[in-house]
Amino acid sequence: MTDDVSGESPKAVLLPEDNLDSRSITWPTVLGAISIVYSVLGVFSNTCGTASIFLGDAGLKLAGVEVEGGLGFPAWITISTLISGGVGLILAVLLFVGGVGLIRRWPGSLPLLKFWVVASILATVIQIVLGFFAINNNTDLQIRIQDATVDMLRKQNPEISSGDLAAMGLDKSEGEIRSESTRNTLVFGGIPVIYPMVLGFLLTSKGRVRQVEGWE
Protein backbone atom coordinates (compact mmCIF):
# COMPACT_ATOMS: atom_id res chain seq x y z
CA MET A 1 0.00 0.00 0.00
CA THR A 2 1.47 3.30 -1.07
CA ASP A 3 0.54 6.84 -0.06
CA ASP A 4 -0.58 9.27 -2.76
CA VAL A 5 1.64 12.24 -2.08
CA SER A 6 1.17 15.32 -4.24
CA GLY A 7 4.25 17.33 -5.14
CA GLU A 8 2.30 20.58 -5.35
CA SER A 9 2.73 23.03 -2.51
CA PRO A 10 -0.36 24.76 -1.10
CA LYS A 11 -1.20 28.03 -2.78
CA ALA A 12 -0.39 31.14 -0.78
CA VAL A 13 -3.39 33.11 0.44
CA LEU A 14 -3.05 36.75 -0.55
CA LEU A 15 -4.81 39.19 1.76
CA PRO A 16 -5.73 42.68 0.60
CA GLU A 17 -3.49 45.47 1.79
CA ASP A 18 -4.81 47.00 4.99
CA ASN A 19 -5.37 50.57 3.93
CA LEU A 20 -8.22 52.95 3.30
CA ASP A 21 -8.43 52.03 -0.37
CA SER A 22 -9.01 48.29 0.21
CA ARG A 23 -12.19 48.56 2.26
CA SER A 24 -15.39 50.55 2.35
CA ILE A 25 -14.83 54.07 3.58
CA THR A 26 -17.16 55.33 6.31
CA TRP A 27 -14.95 57.92 8.02
CA PRO A 28 -16.27 60.92 6.02
CA THR A 29 -19.82 60.19 7.16
CA VAL A 30 -18.80 59.66 10.79
CA LEU A 31 -16.59 62.76 11.02
CA GLY A 32 -19.13 64.79 9.07
CA ALA A 33 -21.96 63.87 11.43
CA ILE A 34 -19.85 64.58 14.52
CA SER A 35 -18.79 67.93 13.05
CA ILE A 36 -22.40 68.92 12.39
CA VAL A 37 -23.43 68.09 15.96
CA TYR A 38 -20.38 69.94 17.33
CA SER A 39 -21.20 72.98 15.19
CA VAL A 40 -24.76 73.12 16.52
CA LEU A 41 -23.41 72.99 20.07
CA GLY A 42 -21.00 75.76 19.11
CA VAL A 43 -23.82 77.99 17.90
CA PHE A 44 -25.75 77.37 21.13
CA SER A 45 -22.80 77.98 23.48
CA ASN A 46 -21.59 81.11 21.70
CA THR A 47 -25.10 82.57 21.57
CA CYS A 48 -25.71 81.91 25.27
CA GLY A 49 -22.27 83.18 26.24
CA THR A 50 -22.77 86.44 24.37
CA ALA A 51 -26.33 86.89 25.64
CA SER A 52 -25.22 86.42 29.26
CA ILE A 53 -23.39 89.75 29.09
CA PHE A 54 -26.72 91.53 28.61
CA LEU A 55 -29.20 89.18 30.29
CA GLY A 56 -27.18 87.93 33.26
CA ASP A 57 -28.21 90.80 35.56
CA ALA A 58 -31.88 90.44 34.60
CA GLY A 59 -31.71 86.70 35.27
CA LEU A 60 -30.35 87.27 38.77
CA LYS A 61 -33.09 89.81 39.51
CA LEU A 62 -35.74 87.32 38.39
CA ALA A 63 -34.25 84.89 40.90
CA GLY A 64 -34.53 87.56 43.58
CA VAL A 65 -30.79 88.27 43.78
CA GLU A 66 -29.99 92.00 43.75
CA VAL A 67 -26.28 92.42 43.04
CA GLU A 68 -24.97 95.79 44.20
CA GLY A 69 -23.91 97.79 41.15
CA GLY A 70 -25.19 95.09 38.78
CA LEU A 71 -22.81 92.72 37.07
CA GLY A 72 -20.60 95.67 36.17
CA PHE A 73 -18.51 94.14 33.38
CA PRO A 74 -15.63 96.37 32.24
CA ALA A 75 -15.90 97.61 28.66
CA TRP A 76 -12.98 95.46 27.47
CA ILE A 77 -14.66 92.28 28.75
CA THR A 78 -17.93 93.18 27.03
CA ILE A 79 -16.17 93.97 23.75
CA SER A 80 -13.95 90.87 23.84
CA THR A 81 -16.97 88.67 24.64
CA LEU A 82 -18.90 90.09 21.70
CA ILE A 83 -15.96 89.58 19.36
CA SER A 84 -15.22 86.05 20.55
CA GLY A 85 -18.91 85.19 20.33
CA GLY A 86 -19.07 86.46 16.76
CA VAL A 87 -15.91 84.60 15.78
CA GLY A 88 -17.26 81.46 17.46
CA LEU A 89 -20.49 81.66 15.46
CA ILE A 90 -18.56 82.06 12.20
CA LEU A 91 -16.36 79.08 13.04
CA ALA A 92 -19.44 77.03 13.92
CA VAL A 93 -20.95 77.78 10.51
CA LEU A 94 -17.69 76.83 8.77
CA LEU A 95 -17.61 73.56 10.70
CA PHE A 96 -21.22 72.84 9.72
CA VAL A 97 -20.44 73.44 6.05
CA GLY A 98 -17.32 71.30 6.30
CA GLY A 99 -19.24 68.50 8.00
CA VAL A 100 -21.91 68.50 5.31
CA GLY A 101 -19.14 68.58 2.70
CA LEU A 102 -17.54 65.46 4.17
CA ILE A 103 -20.82 63.58 4.08
CA ARG A 104 -21.42 64.63 0.47
CA ARG A 105 -17.78 63.84 -0.44
CA TRP A 106 -16.98 67.42 -1.46
CA PRO A 107 -13.18 67.81 -2.02
CA GLY A 108 -13.19 71.38 -0.70
CA SER A 109 -14.34 70.19 2.72
CA LEU A 110 -10.83 69.02 3.65
CA PRO A 111 -9.02 72.40 3.33
CA LEU A 112 -12.05 74.11 4.89
CA LEU A 113 -11.94 71.86 7.94
CA LYS A 114 -8.16 72.19 8.22
CA PHE A 115 -8.61 75.97 8.32
CA TRP A 116 -11.29 75.52 10.98
CA VAL A 117 -8.93 73.39 13.07
CA VAL A 118 -6.17 76.02 13.07
CA ALA A 119 -8.56 78.94 13.64
CA SER A 120 -10.38 77.15 16.47
CA ILE A 121 -7.17 76.30 18.31
CA LEU A 122 -5.94 79.90 18.01
CA ALA A 123 -9.30 81.27 19.16
CA THR A 124 -9.31 78.94 22.17
CA VAL A 125 -5.80 79.98 23.20
CA ILE A 126 -6.76 83.66 22.94
CA GLN A 127 -9.88 83.08 25.04
CA ILE A 128 -7.86 81.33 27.75
CA VAL A 129 -5.39 84.24 27.86
CA LEU A 130 -8.25 86.75 28.10
CA GLY A 131 -9.81 84.60 30.80
CA PHE A 132 -6.69 84.95 32.93
CA PHE A 133 -6.73 88.72 32.46
CA ALA A 134 -10.33 88.70 33.70
CA ILE A 135 -9.64 86.62 36.84
CA ASN A 136 -9.73 89.65 39.16
CA ASN A 137 -12.97 90.95 37.65
CA ASN A 138 -14.57 87.52 37.79
CA THR A 139 -13.50 87.02 41.41
CA ASP A 140 -15.01 90.36 42.42
CA LEU A 141 -18.23 89.52 40.56
CA GLN A 142 -18.55 86.09 42.20
CA ILE A 143 -18.03 87.62 45.66
CA ARG A 144 -20.75 90.21 45.03
CA ILE A 145 -23.14 87.53 43.74
CA GLN A 146 -22.40 85.35 46.78
CA ASP A 147 -23.01 88.25 49.19
CA ALA A 148 -26.24 89.21 47.42
CA THR A 149 -27.47 85.61 47.51
CA VAL A 150 -26.73 85.34 51.23
CA ASP A 151 -28.62 88.60 51.88
CA MET A 152 -31.62 87.28 49.94
CA LEU A 153 -31.64 83.99 51.88
CA ARG A 154 -31.35 85.76 55.24
CA LYS A 155 -34.31 87.99 54.36
CA GLN A 156 -36.36 84.95 53.41
CA ASN A 157 -35.24 82.94 56.44
CA PRO A 158 -33.65 84.97 59.26
CA GLU A 159 -32.88 81.75 61.15
CA ILE A 160 -30.67 80.29 58.44
CA SER A 161 -27.36 79.21 59.94
CA SER A 162 -23.80 79.55 58.74
CA GLY A 163 -23.71 75.78 58.40
CA ASP A 164 -26.65 75.90 56.00
CA LEU A 165 -24.91 78.56 53.94
CA ALA A 166 -21.72 76.51 53.91
CA ALA A 167 -23.67 73.46 52.72
CA MET A 168 -24.89 75.54 49.79
CA GLY A 169 -21.36 76.69 48.99
CA LEU A 170 -22.05 80.29 49.99
CA ASP A 171 -19.21 80.77 52.46
CA LYS A 172 -16.25 80.81 50.07
CA SER A 173 -13.37 83.17 50.68
CA GLU A 174 -11.84 85.42 48.04
CA GLY A 175 -8.88 83.05 47.73
CA GLU A 176 -11.16 80.05 47.17
CA ILE A 177 -13.16 81.86 44.52
CA ARG A 178 -10.00 83.03 42.78
CA SER A 179 -8.63 79.48 42.79
CA GLU A 180 -11.89 78.13 41.31
CA SER A 181 -11.88 80.81 38.62
CA THR A 182 -8.32 79.93 37.64
CA ARG A 183 -9.12 76.22 37.49
CA ASN A 184 -12.32 76.78 35.52
CA THR A 185 -10.48 78.99 33.04
CA LEU A 186 -7.99 76.22 32.35
CA VAL A 187 -10.44 73.30 32.33
CA PHE A 188 -13.51 74.74 30.62
CA GLY A 189 -11.40 77.01 28.45
CA GLY A 190 -9.28 74.09 27.27
CA ILE A 191 -12.06 71.57 26.61
CA PRO A 192 -13.09 73.18 23.27
CA VAL A 193 -9.62 72.50 21.84
CA ILE A 194 -9.97 68.71 22.11
CA TYR A 195 -12.14 68.10 19.04
CA PRO A 196 -10.16 70.43 16.74
CA MET A 197 -6.95 68.61 17.67
CA VAL A 198 -8.51 65.17 17.13
CA LEU A 199 -10.07 66.24 13.83
CA GLY A 200 -6.84 67.82 12.65
CA PHE A 201 -4.92 64.64 13.44
CA LEU A 202 -7.42 62.48 11.54
CA LEU A 203 -7.56 64.78 8.51
CA THR A 204 -3.79 64.80 8.06
CA SER A 205 -3.69 61.03 7.49
CA LYS A 206 -2.08 60.34 4.10
CA GLY A 207 -4.63 57.65 3.35
CA ARG A 208 -7.54 59.99 3.98
CA VAL A 209 -5.92 62.75 1.95
CA ARG A 210 -5.58 60.34 -1.01
CA GLN A 211 -9.20 59.34 -0.57
CA VAL A 212 -10.37 62.96 -0.68
CA GLU A 213 -8.27 63.64 -3.79
CA GLY A 214 -10.31 60.97 -5.57
CA TRP A 215 -13.61 62.70 -4.87
CA GLU A 216 -15.29 64.55 -7.70
Alpha helices in 104-205 (DSSP H): 109-133, 135-156, 162-167, 174-190, 194-203
Q: Answer whether 0.85 is exceeded by the pTM.
A: no
Q: Are 120 and 93 in contact (CB under 8 A)?
A: no
For the segment 171-191, the average pLDDT, to the nearest whole number, is 91
Q: Are 107 and 212 in contact (CB under 8 A)?
A: yes
The pLDDT of residue 100 is 96
Listed in sequence order, the residues at least 6 apart from 62 whose beta carbon sits closer than 8 Å to its beta carbon are none
Encode pLDDT of 192-209 as tens digits: 999 999 999 999 888 888
Encode pLDDT of 98-148 as tens digits: 999 999 999 899 999 999 999 999 999 999 999 999 999 889 888 888 888
Encode pLDDT of 156-177 as tens digits: 888 888 888 888 888 888 999 9
Encode pLDDT of 15-46 as tens digits: 444 444 434 458 899 999 999 999 999 999 99
At position 95, the amino acid (one-letter code) is: L
